[in-house]
Amino acid sequence: MAFNRNKMTQPQERKTRFFDSESLSPNTFAYILMIPAAIVMFGVVVYPFFYNVVLSFSNMSLRHFRDWHLIGFRQYIEVFRGQVFYTVFLKTLVWTFVNIFFHVTIGVSLALVLNRKLFGKAALRTLLILPWAIPQVIVALTWRSMFNYEYGAINLFIARYLQMAPVEWLGKPLEAFSACIITNIWLGFPFMMTIALGGLQSIPQELYEAADIDGASAWQKFWSVTYPLLKPVMIPAITLGIIWTFNNVNIIWLVSNGGEPSDQTHILVSYVYKAAFNLYRYGYAAALSMVIFAILLIFSLVFLKRTKASEAAY
Amino acid sequence: MRYLLSLLLLSFFISSCAKSTLEDPHQIVIWHQMRPDERTVLKEVLDKYMAANPGIKVTALYKETEELRSGFQIAAIGGAGPDIVYGPSDQVGPFQVMEIILPLDTLFSKEYLSRFNPKALVYSHGRLYQIADKIGNHLMLIYNKALLPNPPKTMDQLIAIGEKFTHAPSNYGLVWNYTEPYFFIPFLTGYGGWVMDSLGNPTLDTPAMVAALKFMMELRDKYKIIPKSCDYETADALFKEGKAPMIINGPWSFGDYKKAGINFGVTRIPFIKETGLWPAPMVSPVGFSINASVPQWKIPEIVKLIKYLLSPEVQLEYTRHFDTIPTLESLYSDPVVRNNPIVKESENQMEVGRPMPIIPELRAVWDAMRPSYQAVLGGTESPEQAARQMQKSAVEKIKEMNE
Amino acid sequence: MSHKAKTQNLKLRILNLVLYFLLIGFTLAVLYPIVNVFSISLRPGNRLLSTSLRIIPDGATFHAYKELFTQTQFLLWFWNSSIIAATVTVTGVALASTAGYAFSRFNFYGKKSAMVGLLVTQMFPPTMLLLPMYIMLLKLHLINSYLGIIVIYTSTALPFCVWQMKGYYDTIPFSLEESARIDGSTRWGAFTKIVLPLAAPALVITALFSFMTAWAEYVVAAQVLQDTSLFTLPLGLKQFEASMSTQWGLYAAGSLIISIPAVALFLFLSRWLISGLTLGSVKG
């Protein structure tokens, strides 16, 4: 894909070869553009989803693995009855929002800095993408070893340069949870940085120049020019980032070694995983999944409405 | 658009014909949990088999424990999956309850089965579901001969030796993955406890549990001969770096220690004088089961392959490379087995071991033990509280599991 | 130059310098874990952990790298992953750029629900989707086939890509297409000739994201691909793992090599991600 500036600004007379987009109503044209994506999504998602809906009303479990039947809302009642659900839900919220907050702030700040004229910024940009590019398992385990009480780099750093007592990262609930969060922040910011870098390109330089003429400070420029124009590009990434982080089972599993210590570092999805595949409670796990799904659906609808993401910026 | 179309065509082209391999008469698939070094032996053995049986392709796929379990369940619901599953006996329990593996007693003759060490035949509800090619797979005391020529026989000796070697934080007398309850079992049994009774009810809230937990804490906080926190990788690194003369580990680690150039010996985990008991690690066979979804006509081929994999030549091959304990009784007098000091000591430890229960409830017991056990290590629960909590949680989890 | 401009210039320079040092410090901190992975790959005797902090370990060796290429099927896995990731990337870009345009520019019946619908697909815990997805592929005879996995990867990447494209198109003013249309361009022409080139940064993100989705995915691949000759890189890498006896050297070396194509792709595409070709130049 090579883009040529001259060609681009000159409208072309030629009709397209594949279909005559002129004879169609605008809506039909829109449908045609969308259909390929819609077919793929529909095919892959709908069947699995309804399969889970059915499972969530069933008693499928170790003792009823092949001969399961529907039992109504029992599994849902089970989900809400336990104290565990509420504490784990709270942890999931903390996990999600702390992560996303740092992903976005670090990502956007880096993008802003890297968008300036800096010596060697291409190299820095590429190096900063590495946490996204490297397979998660090995780095998660590397982080785990960095959190090691006696030999880990982090405690040695704390002891040597900050003159503080070493932290028992993996042995205490709060510390272990923080360790998971730190690892995930490290893994997640390059993605947001890339999105923000792309988004910054859509902001016309003239707007900054105009702001300069008005004597705006850097801070004012950020809020009056950068922020509103970066928003439409960042909102989808943030919305999905929240959903993915909410449902991210890998990092917790690897860094805290499956919820250690004492199952205190679980978030909702790691609970689902445990219920289904360790304790064979498929019905229960499906019901809990439906609850997670409902939580995220409600959240997204509210969030999108607030941010007006489905409407155009201009 | 046009390139999109050609692309779709291309993807059709590169996708191979895709039916479940169970229906393929020329292919037998094994899912196994062998270590990388064992896999090279498995590959050699299978290559030999395929050369002798043209027209049969045996595919061996490694699946990690957790993944083998979940992947096999998923595949079984769809009536697909591998023909043969190979792994430790504890997966037999749940698979049998879910009816996703076949009973084997009708497929192998009585005479054939009588050649095996009874420990190698895994029964559940009166039917045979797994035949093992290795037994043991248990924890023992492994020591670095260069640092420690004479290993301890009793816990008191172990503590004395440990104190001599410990210079925290760089050197420790003893290391092991003590965050994992599986590695705690020898201590529990050393104080006379066990995880469940013969009916499968958990037996965690016992004086033995409390005493064993207290002893663990003493090793760390009173005698200070073990690191302040120690998972598998930490223990492994300290032992390999020569910074700890003793480690509690299983036969899976032998190959790795040899490769790291450590001259090691193995022995029983030391005797506890207080109770007059040897610590008993969990002992389990590792072997083959057959997927319940395999078509009837394919079974003879599968049985033939399993018999080959259980044959004396193949079993000895593993013993020769990995010091494992074979399962055919005729092999115990073979020089390869008899003259191997590691196998001998490993058998010696196995003698005092207890078979790992195979019923699915064991998983609930592990899940119940882990949090409280770790809470004791973290100092947030007392041993007494932990024992009570474990028992309560195990009972609950078993109830949930069996609903 | 006025006095005021001069001090401002100086202030700007100092600010740049401070930022620069912060940036370099941050980058080094970010790289530390990766340097650690490198260190594991050089470590003899197969240790994930070491009690020393040295980056180049005692007895460092490139043995793992050599073994990776000579003793394992690394190159085959690499090839398989490349085919899958390339197909997913191209399909993802094609489908997302068109669908995103429809969402951005047209007001059709069901638009909002379709957009939310895309998001909805991401909300269900993926671990629970594995089972029905497997059964579906089994029924369609798509187990052990690249087609099945390509469709799944594409559908995983699409929702984000479509939203992302839509968000970017939203920042491109309508007036550009309108003037093109007045000059006689077709709708399709206005889209491909005017809007797409301007959306290059978003296309880059879409491509990168689709690529990464397919390149490093493990869970679905493990369930769908059951033949070693079809294995992708993450599946191959997993072969070095084993409960309590992982080959850490190989694992680390493999992980580092896997990340190279992803970084190379980023490097290659960043030309268009950070092109001087901002909208400003044509907006006028």
In sequence order, the β-bridge partners of residue B202 are B196
Token readout for A101 is 């907050």
Whether residue B168 lies within 8 A of chain C, CB to CB, comes out as: no
CA distance A109 to chain C (A): 10
Percentage with pLDDT > 70 across chain C: 92
CA C281 vs CA A194, C176, C241: distances in Å: 22, 12, 52
pLDDT given for residue C137 in this prediction: 83
Q: At what angle do helices C111-120 and A26-56 cross, to 10 degrees?
A: 40
| C135–B78 C-beta distance less than 8 A | yes
Whether residue B370 lies within 8 A of chain A, CB to CB, comes out as: yes
Chain C contact probe: residue of A75, A161, A233, A288 with most C CBs at under 10 A = A233
At a CB cut-off of 8 Å and minimum separation 6, what does B216 contact? B178, B184, B187, B376, B377
Distance, in Å, from the CA atom of B268 to the CA atom of A6, rounded to the nearest integer, reads: 81
Answer yes or no: do C183 and C152 share one domain.
yes
Q: Which residue of A has its CA nearest to B394?
A: A279
pLDDT given for residue B105 in this prediction: 92
Distance, in Å, from the CA atom of B119 to the CA atom of B354, rounded to the nearest integer, reads: 11
Q: Is A33 helix (H, G, I), strand (E, B) or coil?
A: helix
Answer yes or no: do C162 and C268 share one domain.
yes
| C34–A134 C-beta distance less than 8 A | yes
Answer yes or no: do C91 and C158 share one domain.
yes
Distance, in Å, from the CA atom of A130 to the CA atom of A71, rounded to the nearest integer, reads: 49
CA distance C181 to chain B (A): 22
At a CB cut-off of 8 Å and minimum separation 6, what does C207 contact? C89, C92, C93, C265, C269
ipTM above 0.85 for this complex:
no
Span C188-221, pLDDT tens digits: 888 888 889 888 888 998 999 999 989 888 888 8
CA distance B398 to chain A (A): 9
Going from N- to C-terminal start, the domains of chain A cover: 77-307
CA max distance for chain B: 81
In sequence order, the β-bridge partners of residue A70 are A58
Domain at A77-307, CATH class: mainly alpha
Contact residues of A toward B, CB < 8 A: 18, 36, 59, 61-63, 65-66, 145, 148-151, 168, 170-173, 257, 260-264, 274, 276-281, 284
Answer yes or no: do C54 and C73 share one domain.
no
Of C61, C82, C109, which residue sits at a domain end?
Answer: C61
| pLDDT tens, chain A, 314 aa long | 333 333 333 333 344 444 556 667 777 887 887 777 777 777 777 888 888 888 889 888 888 877 888 888 888 888 898 788 898 999 999 999 999 999 999 999 999 888 877 777 888 888 998 898 888 888 888 888 888 877 778 888 888 788 777 788 887 888 888 999 999 999 999 999 998 988 888 788 888 888 888 888 888 888 888 888 888 888 888 988 999 999 888 888 888 877 777 777 888 888 888 888 778 888 999 999 999 999 999 988 888 888 775 554 44
Place of tokens 């187990």: C143
Q: At what angle do helices C111-120 and A282-307 cross, to 10 degrees?
A: 140
CA C86 to chain centre: 11
Residue A286 dihedral angles phi and psi, to the nearest 5°: -65, -40
Question: B touches which chains (3+ CB pairs under 8 A)?
Answer: A, C
At a CB cut-off of 8 Å and minimum separation 6, what does B366 contact? B181, B182
Under the banding of pLDDT at 50, 70 and 90, the label for residue B330 is very high
Answer yes or no: do C57 and C134 share one domain.
no
Name the average pLDDT for chain C. Answer: 83
pLDDT given for residue A22 in this prediction: 64
Token readout for A258 is 């499956």
Sheet arrangement for strand B127-134: B57-62, B27-32, B84-88, B286-290, B127-134, B121-124
Report the residue from B99, B363, B403 with minimal CB separation from A278. Answer: B363
Token readout for A241 is 């980032």
Distance, in Å, from the CA atom of C168 to the CA atom of A313, rounded to the nearest integer, reads: 10
Q: Which residue of A has its CA nearest to B5?
A: A36
Task: Give me the half-sphere count of Cα atoms (radius 13 Å) on the Cβ side of residue C78.
Answer: 15
Buried b (16+ CB within 10 A) or exposed e, C246-268: bbbbbbbbbbbbbbebbbebbee
CA A306 to chain centre: 19
Whether residue C91 lies within 8 A of chain B, CB to CB, comes out as: yes
Span C229-253, pLDDT tens digits: 888 988 888 888 776 777 888 888 8
Distance, in Å, from the CA atom of C25 to the CA atom of C37, rounded to the nearest integer, reads: 19
Answer yes or no: do C128 and C178 share one domain.
yes
CA angle (B249, B130, B27) in 5-degree steps: 105
| B234–A151 C-beta distance less than 8 A | yes
Report the residue from C112, C184, C255 with minimal CB separation from A135. Answer: C255
Nearest CA-CA partner of B70 in A286, A276, C227, C224: A276
Answer yes or no: do C83 and C114 share one domain.
yes
Answer yes or no: do C111 and C196 share one domain.
yes
- The residue range of the domain holding C41 is 3-61
Res C275 pLDDT > 80: no
Nearest CA-CA partner of A313 in A204, A210, A206, A215: A204
Residues of A whose CB is below 8 A from B98: 62, 65-66, 280
Answer yes or no: do C131 and C212 share one domain.
yes
Place of tokens 């009166």: B126
Name the average pLDDT for chain B. Answer: 89
Distance, in Å, from the CA atom of C249 to the CA atom of B1, rounded to the nearest integer, reads: 45
Residues of B whose CB is below 8 A from A61: 401-403
Report the residue from A47, A135, A201 with minimal CB separation from C258. Answer: A135
Is there a contact between B195 and B212 (Cβ–Cβ < 8 Å)? no
Q: Which of residues 39-58 of C touch B (CB under 8 A)?
A: 44-51
DSSP conformational letter for A115: T
Token readout for C82 is 């490349």
CA B132 vs CA B137, C112, C274: distances in Å: 11, 59, 61
CB-CB neighbours of B31 under 10 Å: 23
- Of C100 and B2, the structure prediction assigns the larger pLDDT to C100
Residues of C whose CB is below 8 A from B170: 51
Domain CATH code at residue C191: 1.10.3720.10
| A170–B229 C-beta distance less than 8 A | yes
Residues of C whose CB is below 8 A from A186: 30, 33
CB-CB neighbours of B195 under 10 Å: 25
CA distance C78 to chain A (A): 14
| A279–B397 C-beta distance less than 8 A | yes
Residues of B whose CB is below 8 A from A66: 98-99
CB-CB neighbours of A301 under 10 Å: 13
pLDDT given for residue B66 in this prediction: 79
Distance, in Å, from the CA atom of B268 to the CA atom of B270, rounded to the nearest integer, reads: 6
Place of tokens 């020019």: A225
Span B331-382, pLDDT tens digits: 999 999 999 999 999 999 999 999 999 988 898 899 899 888 988 988 888 9
pLDDT given for residue A98 in this prediction: 96
Structural domains counted in chain C: 2
Pairing of strands B246-249, B140-144: antiparallel
Q: Is B354 helix (H, G, I), strand (E, B) or coil?
A: strand
DSSP conformational letter for B16: P
pLDDT given for residue A21 in this prediction: 63
Span B235-257, pLDDT tens digits: 998 999 899 999 999 999 998 89
| C243–B65 C-beta distance less than 8 A | yes
Answer yes or no: do C45 and C126 share one domain.
no
Distance, in Å, from the CA atom of B357 to the CA atom of B378, rounded to the nearest integer, reads: 28
Whether residue B34 lies within 8 A of chain C, CB to CB, comes out as: yes
Domains of chain B are 12-136+284-355 (3.40.190.10), 140-280+360-401 (3.40.190.10)
| A18–B231 C-beta distance less than 8 A | no
pLDDT given for residue B352 in this prediction: 94
Of C15, C30, C61, which residue sits at a domain end?
Answer: C61
CB-CB neighbours of B103 under 10 Å: 18
Element holding B62 (H helix, E strand):
strand B57-62
Element holding B144 (H helix, E strand):
strand B140-144
